[in-house]
Amino acid sequence: MQKKTKLFKVMGLACSMAATILCMAPQAAQAAYPEKPITIVIPFAAGGAADTLGRLLAEKIGQKVKQPVIVENKPGAGTLIASQHVANAKPDGYTLLLAASSLGTIPSINKDARYDPVESFVPITQVASVVHVISVNPEVPVKNVKELIAYLKQNKGKVSYASLGTGSSTQLEAEMFKSMADVDMQDIPYKGSAPALTDLISGRVQVMFDAWASTGPYAKAGKVKVLAVTTDKPSPSIPDMPTISEAVPGFSAMPWLGLVAPKGTSPAVVEIIYKAVHESVQQEEVKDRFRTLGLDVIGSDPATFGDFIRKDVQTWGEVIRKAHITVNP
């Protein structure tokens, strides 16, 4: 009887040890992340500011996690192709998306998006904001946003703004401005900043919302007149520039770039990538590089970024519905 009791005790101890080992196994596997190269999918072609940022992030993350980080460019359909690709990727932390503001706006514009900007992804960090400004042709007789509003009211139906097409941040910012300032402008779409700025300089269009990185050189040369930044607070990149919100209370438009992962990616993995990015973007050399790209460093934590995305989706969804913007007429 004593032998049986001892046998049961030994068997019980063995089962307990086995259960402990099984419970520890996932933790050990998780602790080993990353065990292989990580891929950051960029929804833009090589060579632009977002691509440059993505490659800088890949380098810095790789140094922190001791694994190569590969950049994969998947441009097309206004970032839709890349977003769908990552939404459907395995949630193991090895496929990340350098998302842009369009991650949240495309589903409101395109009924065929086939992803939800909140439910299909796990937020990691908002890496940076893209500094945007409102500019006018130098011949437009205004010196600030308040005077521009008065000018637009006096010339209703006579003023055009340049945008980069349906659903672009340039169009959405202009439509938000129209609504909040109660003014009217006609949208003239272009296939890129260069031709749009050419027509702004020539006077074919009178107003444009665009990135400071594109507009800045022309403003410094006196070819366009920059009136304000679109954020509700001054930009560290151009701290002396007024904000639109000084003339239009509540106006705030912050195009952004951030890292997200497929839904189901573990919090532990998210935290590893977040810490690697957060530590990297605090380096002065990284901040300086961001500024040359027309970007302001953010580096928010996953929870804060998630809240920001939800609010951003709601804000732009309302603008899109009010302006009847769609690619599915």
Q: Could you tell me if 91 and 270 are in contact, meaning their C-beta atoms sit under 8 angstroms apart?
A: no
* Residues 288, 295: Cα–Cα separation, whole Å: 9
* Mean pLDDT across 308-316: 97
Q: Could you tell me if 225 and 136 are in contact, meaning their C-beta atoms sit under 8 angstroms apart?
A: yes
Which amino acid type is present at position 7? L
Work out the mean pLDDT of the chain and round it to a whole number.
92
Q: Is 250 exposed, middle or buried (0-12, 13-18, 19+ CB in 10 A)?
A: exposed
Which amino acid type is present at position 126? Q
DSSP designation for 235 = B
pTM of the model: 0.87
Q: Could you tell me if 133 and 296 are in contact, meaning their C-beta atoms sit under 8 angstroms apart?
A: no
pLDDT at 41 over 90: yes
The three-state secondary structure class of 223 is coil
Q: What is the pLDDT of residues 213-255, one digit of tens each?
A: 999 999 999 999 999 999 999 999 999 999 999 999 999 999 9
What distance separates the 2 farthest-apart alpha carbons in the chain? 104
Q: Check residue 78 and give its pLDDT.
A: 87
In our burial notation (b when 16+ CB lie closer than 10 A, e otherwise), range 305-315 reads bbebbeebbeb
pLDDT at 81 over 70: yes
